[in-house]
Structures are given as C-alpha cells and as structure tokens.
Structure 1
C-alpha cells in the first residue's frame, strides 16, 4: 500500500514536472512545437471535446496515412532500387567476368611477354651465333668462287693474280688454326688444317705444273711477274723449287748455247755486232777476246734473270741453288769455247800473241768466276788458262832458243852485244809491255824475265868466256847494261837488277884491276910499289929505284899523264856503252895510282928515309893529284 502510495506519488510528481515544464517553456522559442501545432491546425479544426478525445487516434491515423504514403513512395523507390540493384549486380557480374577475363588475359599476356622475351633472347643469341658462324666461315673457309679459282676450270688453266690471293688466303687460314687450337677447339682446328693442307698441296701442284710449262716456253729475257710470285710460293717446297730451277736451266742452257753458236757463225752478237766472231779466227787475240767478251756480256744477263725470277724468295736459303743453276746454264758453253781456244793454242803463234791470249783468259776468268764461282765454266776457263800459260812459256822458251841460235855469236871488235841479245831484249820488251798492264803481272813478269834472261845470260857468259879478260869484262858490261836498261823500265825487277848489278860490279872490278895494272906499268910504278910494299931496312933514298932521281922521273911522267890521261887508258874502256861504267872504271883505277902516289909522297917526306928537299921531288900533293885525276 505504501508502495502504491509511493508509486502514485511518483507519477503525480512526474506529471507535475511535465506540467511545470510546459508552463515554464516558451512556445515562441520552440520551433518544433510551433511546427507541430501548425501542422495540427491543418486538420484539427473543431476544438470540441469529442474532437479532443479523438485527436490522438486522428493523429495516429494521420501518422499511419503518412507512413502508408511514405511506404508506398518508398516501395516505388525500393522497386526502383531493386531494379538498380539488379542492374548493378548484372553490371557487377559483367565487371567480374570482365575482370576475370582481364586477369586471365593479363596472365596469358605475361606468359606471352615472357615467352616473347625468351624468344627474343634466343633469336638474338641465334643471330649472334649466325654472325659468329658467318664470320667463322668467312675466316676459316673458302668461298665457292675462291675454290673455283684455286682448282681452275682445267689442268691447263692459266694462273692469275687472283690465284695467288687465294693461296695466301689458304695459308692464312692454316696459320689461324693455331689460334683456334689454343682456344680449345682442337678437333675443329685439326679438321680445318687438314682441309687447308689438302687445298694447299693441290694448289702448289697446279702452280708447279704451270710454272714448269712457263719455263719450258720462256723465249725472251723478261721474267713475268706471275712467274716471280710462283717461285716465291714454291720455295716452301724445296723439291718442286729445285725441279723448276732445273727445268729453267735446261731451257736457258739450250738457248744460250744456240745464241753463242749464232754469234760465232751468224754474227748475232751483243751490241749489234753484225759480223760472225769466226770471221776473225785468223787473228787469235781478237778471236779469243770476242768469244770471251760475248760470255762476259751474256752470263750476267742470265744471272740477272735468275735473280729476278727469285727476287721474292728468301735468298739465304737458296744462294747455293742459284750458283748451281747458273753453273748449269753456262755449262753448255764449255765445249764450243774450249774446242776453239784449244785449236788456237795448238796452232803456231808468236809468244806475244799467246801471252795476249793468256792475259785475256785470265782477265775474263777472274770476272766470270765472280759471277759463276765453282762452276764447270770456271773450271774450264781455269784449264784453258793453265794450257795457255804453258803454251806461252813453251813458245817463249822456243823463241829464245831460236833467237840465240845453235852456236853463240862472237862479238865484233866494238864489243857491243850480239844481235841475238838485241833480238831477245826486243822480244822481252814487247812482252813485258803487255804484261805490265795485266792482272797478277808480278808473277808473269818474273816468269817471263826468267825464261828470257837466264838463257840469255848463260849465252853471254859462254861467249865472253872465249874472249881476253879485258874484252870479256867490257863485253859483259855492255850486255848487262843493255839488259838493265830494258828491265829498269818495269816494276818488280829489283831483285833481278840487283843480281845484274852484282855481276856488273864484278866485271868493273876486273876492268879496274886491268886498267890500274896498265897504268902502273906505263908509269913505271911497279918497282916503286914493290919497294914500298917490301919495307926493306934502311932509308928508301939509298935503295936503287927509289933514289931522288928515279922519283923525280916518275913524277915527270905522271905530270905528262895528267895532261893527256887518255893516252894510257886501255882502248877497250872507250868501247863501254855506259858512261857510268867508263867513269867508275877510270875513277877506281886513278884512285889506285893516287893511293900509290900518296904512299910514295909520305915515304919521301918521312925524315928517316933521308930525302933532301922532298918537296922539290913532287909538284902536287896527293890530294891535288887525286882531285886532278878524278876531274878528268
């Protein structure tokens, strides 16, 4: 009850608060209440009790109407929204489907892009590999055109410059394979090297046949550039290279021999010589000189041709082959040359001609031996030189014997050299004049002098041995003087001239002795000289023959001799052809007289010899006398 009372009290309290609240509220400030009342005024028009009683229901009905209207309107909205929702859902489904398709397409596109990238990478790699393969093929393989050039259309196809380019290309590929082997491609490199080796061998075989054919038909002296290139390539094959040189030598030897025979018989020589060389066979010197001159002109041309043909080769490895080849080419000239020169040497010819031939052979042999050393031609010329020298020496000895004659010619009363001496010296002078301008002339000149002078001196000595002493000395001096005069014109004669001078001095001593003996006898100096040499005891003035009267008689004769000294000279002295010999003989013989005079002069002036007034016995001092005698 109490609770009910408390509850009723609470309700009243609540109502009171509401009423108070309403009373306290100001409607003009409550916009919501004003709006509600304004809305209520629109449909609550009758303010009656019934109307107030039904207001709530009426408000509820109106609220219901409003809600129904709202519901109807919202239903349309909902219907519209449902349609929109359906459309959105349909769109969502389409979008989802498109999204899925796009996602699927994107996935497929990524795969395609990835595959395309991979394919592009593979394509790039393949392109690079193709470029490498093309570069490899270009570097290590020959093109069909190159193979066609290398093999040729036929075995007789000509060689061109392109052929050598391809051969160089093959060699280059072969050399490049070494680099390929070092890179780890041994098998591939070996296969390519084997292929290139086969191609190279085939090319060189073809080149060898072509070069051999060119050598067989080479007619002029101009070496084709292709032949030079060919020899350069074939140098790597020594056997083929040697065969080519042998073939060339065979052809050129035949051509050279033919040209030499033509020059001998037809006159097709070098320098436009129209006449055949054999037209001058009657003139041995010119005949031999023309033949050797032809060789001298022809052989260097052959050497130049060979050097031109191999100028692209390595000279260090083929010098001996070149020398041998040139020797083979010139070997054919040996027989025709040797037979003709031997025939000339076999014919009787003067020694001067034979020596001229000898100098010609020696001269050309020295030149040709430099061009073709150690060759058959060099040996042949050496043999011909030996034969020519022997023939010359034999002929010179024979002419010397003929000039001297079987019996020695006695000299005339003038004691001049016999005619044979003059003839031999004339021959010697003629030969030495040629020898003095020749090569190696010292040996020749000494040999020539020995061949002529030795038998000549023997003949002179034999002739002189049958003459009196003075005549012999004068004759030998005249002969030796003439020989010395001839030899003095030439070099290398010093030793020979010294020996001749020694012989001259010996004869001058003999002649001086004879002349001095004659003067001593004519001037009565013999007894005086004997007494002076005897050295007898006692003064000289007391010895017979040394008394003052005898001494004065001698000095008077000496004065007479000084006035006309030629009176007491040997007549043979005037026959000396050399003024020097005459002067030396007189001087030495006068010196003998002067020495005896000086000895006598000193003895007479010696107090122990007891000469009174010795100065009156002599009109001259020994020095004055010697001066007068020598000045004669």
Structure 2
C-alpha cells in the first residue's frame, strides 16, 4: 500500500497501477480499472500546495519516516497502531478519574447525612425558641417606639418651649439688649411661625397655647427694645461718625412693629429738633438756652453787620446742620439696604387686622430715602421757624430795593440746594419758598413806592434829549437786579418767564414814564428822546439771555420810531428843496398823468419851475449836513445816518419821477399868448429845471 502511494523514481503512478497483476487476474477488470482511473485522477487533480497535504507531509518529516517500500506499506498500520495506543492511554486515565469521582460521591453522601442531622437539631431548637423570639421582637418594637417618642418630645421641647433664662433675657429690663437678646428673639419669632404648622394639624390646642405664650413673650421683648432705643436716643451723639451698630440692628428689628417704630422716630425727631434749635440759638446769640455764654462760638448777630451776609450766614448754618444731620442719620436707613422696609412689611403682614385702622400712606412700601428726608426735615423744623422769623425781620426792617431782592434771590439759591438734599416735599422747603415769596412781595412794594415817588415829581426831558435821571437810576438798579438773578439756580426753561414779573415792576414803569414825557414833545424831539432811552435800555437788557425777548421788543419799537424820523427827514428834504409842490401835483394826478393837463398846472409853469430850481440849487450844497443837524441829539450817530440816508433815497426816487415827467411834458408844453414876448426865445421845461437825478444822488450821499 505504501508503495502504491509513493512511486519509485522514473515510474509514474499510472504505470505502476496498470502493470499490477491484480487487474489482469480478476474477472472484473473494467470495474477496477474505472475505480483505479478515478483514484488516479483524484490523486493527479490534488494540489500539493494544499495546506492539509502540506501539514501531513510536514508531520511525516517530523516522525522521521524514510521513503522506502516497506515504510510505505506499513504507514497505515503504524498510524492505526498509534491511534489505538493513544486511545488506550486515554481510557486508562479516565479510569483514574472514575475512581476519584466514586470517592467524591461517597464524601457528598456523608455530608448530606450530616446536614440532615443538623437540620433536625435546628428545627427542634427553633420550635423551642420561637415564643421567646416573638416576645423579644415585641419588646424591641415597643422600646423603639418609646425612644422615638422621647426624641420627638425632646426635639419639640427644645424647639417650641423656651427656658426661663431665655424668657428673662427676652422680657426682663434688668437684662441687657445684646447679641444674646437678638438670638433669643429670632428663636421666638421662628417658634411663632412654626406654630402655624401645629394649628394646621390635629394638635390645635397645643399650638394655641404655645402661640399665646410666645406672643406674650414677643410683645414684652418689643416693648423692652422700644424703651431701650428711647434711652439710647437720649444719649446718642450724632457727631460721632460711627453710630452704635446695636442701635441700627435694634431699629431693623423694631421695624417689625410699625407703630413702635414710628413712635421711636417721633421721639427721636422731637429730641433732635430741640437740640438743633438750641444750637442755632447759640450760633445766633453766643448764649446757651440757659443764658450761659459760649466763648467758642462767634455770634452771627454780632459778626455779620451786613443784612445780606447775616441772612447768608443763617442759611449757611442751616444748610451745614441739615447736611450733617442727614449724613449722621443715613446709616440708620440706607446703609443696611432694605432691611427696615422688609421689617415694616413683615409687621404689617403679621397684623392684617390693623389695615383698616391705618391710613393709605401707611400701606405704601417703606422708602428709606424718603423716611430719611422726612426725619431730617422734622429735625430742622425748629431751626426753620427761627430762620423764618429772623429773615422776615431783616426784610421788613430794610427799604432798600436791591438789598431785598438780593435776599430773596439768596433764599432761592438755598432753596434749590435744600431741594437736592431733602427732595420736593419738605417743610423746610415750604418755609424757604414762603420767605422767597415774601421777599419778592416786599421788593414789588418798595419798587412801586419808588415809582410812585418819581411820578409825583415833575419830570422834563433833558436839553440834549438824553436819558433822564430817573431812568439812569432805574437802569442801574435793574442791572444790579439782573446780575443777582443771573447767579440764581433757576432752570433755563423758567428763567425768562420768572423774570417777567421783575421787569414788570422794575422796568416797565420807566418805559411808560418816558412815553408819557414824549407825548408833550414835538417831532422830531419826541422820537429822538424815546429812541435814546430805548437804545440804552436795549443795551442793558441784551447782556442777559433771560431778557433777550424784551430787548428784541425794544428793538422793534426803536424801528417804529425810526420810521417816524425817516418820514420827518423825508418831509424836510421835500420842503427845503422846493420839490414839495411838484411832488404833490404829481401824486394828485396819479401814476400816468395827462401831460397836457400837467403842464397847465401852476406848479409846472415856467416861472414856478425856475423858482423851484433855484431853491433846489440853494438847498443841495448843505442838504445832507442840514438833515443830519436835525438828528444831532440822537445819541446813535450810526442810526442818525441810516435814517437820513433812507429819507434821501426816498427823496431821490421822487426827484426821478419829477424829472421823468418834466422830460415827457417838455414836447407838449406851449407858452400862452399873454406870456409871449417878442425878444424872448422859447425855452423847454427841461431847460428851466436842469438838475438830474444823478447829480442829486451824488450830492446827497
């Protein structure tokens, strides 16, 4: 068999199988031949590059098999023998395993027997100890329940029940108001809040009892805090920049009782009002309320001799005291944010039954800034009363118009300053507004008296038609008033409107006075006089923005009177030049007169034209100087020249019309028969009136 699979060298597998005697000795040669052929084909078709064949050949190489005929014949037998030997070894090993398994089975059987024995013992023991365990479990559950109840009782007592020491700390006046007081107070408030849970449960009776006790303790605590704050306010030094922190904390807590909080503020405001009033009195007189002299203070009444300075010093002292008071009290309301507002709101929420007894203002949200402003305003209320009396005395005791107005304007200045400090709604601002109005009323009274005194005197215009003395004094006075008003803090929008009343009292009467004086004067003196006065007034008013509109109105009035002077100068040119009759004749005949009718008029007769021409020639050399001489008393030479030039332009325009009409009528003019003379040469109208408009404009410009 081996020889059949491994052919010898030089012999192919096909040849060896064909030569086999077995194929020729049997009677089934064709069948074996086919089987052999298929086998040979299978071997020949096999690829020796196949992995399985290669592995088999490699295994043969590893066994060291030689390629001999014997070896090839015994290969299958050897392989089968090896397989049988390997199987025998495996069976032998499995025999050892079976022996071990039998031993393990025996051991497991012994263990099962021991477990069964132990189970019987455990069952018996369980039957004996079951009643004891049940009873022990019941006792443990009851013990756990008792311990839980004990813990709940301890926790309830620790949270809802206050000790005698805590109650004494909270309500006893002998105990100080310190950190411990506030800690206990916070705990009491928390207990009060938590009692709402008890009231919502089945233990309402217990909740009501605790609530009643806690409410009593809290009321006592707030009363104690209220009295303590009042005692501290009596000895509080606001000049110390560091106000006691405990007072601020106490005020925040007391805010939860709005009524007590407001009472404390009222008490504090009343005390501070007396203190500031006494300090102001000492600053004014140098004496204390008891009459003792304070040498460290310079009395304002003795130092300030000038009334304006006296009023200014009093207002400055009030301003300084107000600012200091605000800065000192600001920490009470502003430094802690909205804590006081929260406390007041909490107090209102905790007392809903009081909402019908409070007014509408109390229901609003607490504003720390507004409360601060109101408190400071109340603190300086006494100072405001004394200040009002002193300033009114100063205003009433002086009849100087400018001084009274300066005092009123100074009060206005400080009123604006106090508005920035205390806001719009303030009693002190109302006082200052009243003083300002009183000063303005006194100013108007003095001004009317002064105007009335001037009207009783006989006033005549100066010879040079300049400003009368009363107007000079009035403008000087008005200038002082405008300088004072210009330094005020009046807003730009209302500044001009507010000053109109001052102009009505301090300026308009003078304007009406000069208009009355001008009515008794003739032209052109009346217009020159009014223009001189109005120009000076306009110059004084133009220096300030708040009188710009009135200055503009004066400028328009000057223009109107300038038109009157132009008419006067124009009439002067016509009358002095001899052109009046010619112009009147042309105006009476319309724009396009009948030339034949025109030359027949008296004004256009040759002799009349000769006379007019002669008068014109005499007038022209000095015409401009004569016209300017009419306005020599007009203080504005520029305006006088403008008026004269305007009148001269109108005169030149009329002369051009006259010249044109004479030229047109020159062709149709005829001499009447009674005027003809044998020796006289006939002359045209233009020859009788030879002046041209160009010559006139040259001479008058």
What is the TM-score with the length of structure 1 in the denominator? 0.74
- Mapped partners of 1:249, 1:554: distance in 2: 96
1:309-458 correspondence runs (5 A): 309-311=332-334, 312-314=339-341, 317-319=365-367, 324-369=374-419, 371=422, 373-401=424-452, 404=454, 406-440=456-490, 441-458=495-512
Shift, 1:166, TM fit: 1.3
Q: State the partner residue of 1:573.
A: 631
Aligned mates of 1:614, 1:157 — CA distance in 2: 129
User: Distance between the aligned counterparts of 2:667 and 2:500, measured in 1?
Assistant: 61
Quick one: distance in 1 between partners of 2:401 and 2:460?
27
With over 3 angstroms needed to count, the CA separation of the structure-2 counterparts of 1:503 and 1:104, relative to structure 1, is closer
Distance verdict in 2 for CA 1:620–1:177, change over 3 Å? farther
Q: Is there any run of 5+ residues in structure 1 with no aligned partner, and where? A: 1-101
Give the conservation status (yes or no) of the 8 Å contact 1:256–1:330: yes
Q: Do the aligned residues in 1 keep the contact of 2:248 with 2:332 (CA within 8 Å)?
A: yes
Q: State which drifts further: 342-351 or 216-225.
A: 216-225
- Aligned 8 A contact 1:541 1:609 in 2: no
1:124 equivalent to 2:144? Answer yes
In 1, Cα distance between equivalents of 2:225 and 2:697: 99
Q: Which residue pairs with 2:238 in the alignment?
A: 220
2:203: which partner in 1? 185
Cα shift at 1:253: 0.8
Task: Output the aligned Cα RMSD.
Answer: 3.4
CA shift for structure 1 position 385: 1.7
1:357-412 per-residue CA deviation (whole Å, 9 max, x = no partner) reads: 1011122223435616545433332322221111112223334455x464244233
Query: Which deviates more, 342-351 or 406-415?
Result: 406-415
Q: Give the 3 Å change call, closer, same or farther, for CA 309–519 of structure 1 in structure 2.
A: same
Question: CA offset at residue 286 of structure 1?
Answer: 1.4
Could you say which residue in structure 2 is the equivalent of 1:198? 216
Aligned to 1:291: 314
Q: 1:569-603: CA deviations, max 9, x gaps?
A: 16331221123431332123213312321221221
Say whether residues 1:264 and 2:322 are aligned partners: no
Q: Is the 8 A contact 1:231 1:310 kept in 2?
A: no
State whether structure 2 residue 163 is matched by structure 1 residue 164. no
Distance change (3 Å), C-alpha of 1:171 and 1:435: same
Deviation at residue 281 of structure 1 after TM alignment: 3.9
Within the candidate set 640, 648, 655, 1:590 is matched to 648
Check whether the contact 1:519–1:568 (CA below 8 A) recurs between aligned residues. no
List per-residue Cα deviations over 1:309-337 (Å, max 9, x = no partner): 24431085444765554443222113321
Contact residue 327 and residue 372 of structure 1 kept, 8 A:
no
Whether 1:465 and 2:519 are equivalent positions in the alignment is yes
In 2, the alpha carbon distance for the partners of 1:125 and 1:617 equals 150
Q: Answer whether contact 2:301 2:310 (CA < 8 A) is retained.
A: yes
SS in 2 for 1:478: helix
Distance 1:424 1:260 in 2: 39
The one of 231, 239, 259 equivalent to 1:239 is 259
Give the whole-Å Cα distance in 2 for the aligned partners of 1:203 and 1:228: 17
CA distance in 1, matches of 2:475, 2:287: 40
Quote the Cα distance in structure 2 between the aligned partners of 1:489 and 1:307: 44
| Structure 2: gaps (5+ residues) | 1-121, 289-295, 343-363, 670-682
Check whether the contact 2:578–2:616 (CA below 8 A) recurs between aligned residues: no
1:137-156 Cα shifts (integer Å, max 9, x gaps) = 2332334553342234xx24
Q: Deviations over 1:226-245 (max 9, x none)?
A: 22222222222222122211
Rg larger for: 1
Q: How many residues align?
A: 522
